Amino acid sequence: MASDNDIAALIGRVALRDRAALAALYAAASPKLFAVCLRILKDRADAEDALQEIFVKIWRRADRFAAAGTSPLGWLVTIARNHAIDVLRARKPVSDSIEESRDIADTAHDPETESIIKGEGRRIDRCMEELESDRAKAVRSAYVEGLSYQELAERHGVPLNTMRTWLRRSLLKLRECLDR
């Protein structure tokens, strides 16, 4: 592994658009950055793709590296880590309606089953409309996006226990509506 001074010098040369320096930086840092990507993404092909995209970012952002007081390898690892997390986030589908999220999860039904499922989706959407707007958004965020109670409380600016109460009461109202 190259020293911090060697890596800093290579980043400086990359900032000047030196392709040979980029190749040398890749040779020096790619094993470490690949390991970071693989640990986060847990898939070799995804980690390889991410590594290529990371070096494109390094090529574009090398002029932003400030050598004074900053670890060059730390700077590279931060870029890799943030990119890998962005890739993970991009994998997770976010849906605005419960029916859309159901469509993503399972589309291999016969027409009769599809009709029943769509009817149920419409019933759920109709019942969701009976909830107060902020409560309905909290329910969708919790059960479609998978947000935690704490994340929901912060998003809506309410105490944690208030959010728990909102969700519990909203689910009771939904059950009551669906039982009609």
Structural domain boundaries, residue 30: 4-91
Whole-number pLDDT of residue 68: 61
**pLDDT above 70: residue 5:** yes
pLDDT in tens, 70-120: 789 889 998 999 999 999 888 766 555 555 555 554 555 567 777 777 777
Whole-number pLDDT of residue 179: 84
Domain check: are 19 and 73 in the same one? yes
Taking alpha carbons only, the member of 96, 176, 100, 120 closest to residue 168 is 176
Domain boundary among 91, 108, 140: 91
Q: Roughly what angle, to the nearest 10 degrees, separates helices 72-91 and 19-41? A: 50
Domain check: are 87 and 113 in the same one? no
Residue with tokens 């479609």: 144
* Spatial CB neighbours of 116, under 8 Å, sequence gap ≥ 6: none
Q: How far is CA 97 from CA 67, 94, 117, 173, 178, in A?
A: 48, 9, 14, 18, 17
Domain check: are 75 and 106 in the same one? no
Domain check: are 164 and 131 in the same one? yes
Whole-number pLDDT of residue 152: 87
Domain check: are 85 and 131 in the same one? no
- For the domain that residue 117 is a member of, what is the CATH number? 1.10.10.10
Whole-number pLDDT of residue 93: 63
**pLDDT above 90: residue 47:** yes
Domain boundary among 52, 68, 91: 91
Domain boundary among 47, 62, 91: 91
Domain check: are 104 and 80 in the same one? no
Domain check: are 118 and 84 in the same one? no
Domain check: are 85 and 8 in the same one? yes
Domain check: are 83 and 103 in the same one? no
For range 52-68, the mean pLDDT: 87
Cα–Cα distance measured from residue 90 to residue 70, given in angstroms and rounded to the nearest whole number: 29
Domain check: are 164 and 108 in the same one? yes
Burial, 170: exposed, middle or buried (Cβ in 10 Å; 0-12, 13-18, 19+)? buried
pLDDT in tens, 110-168: 677 777 777 777 888 888 888 899 998 888 888 777 778 888 899 999 998 999 999 89
Tokens of 70: 């900053």
Domain check: are 175 and 104 in the same one? yes
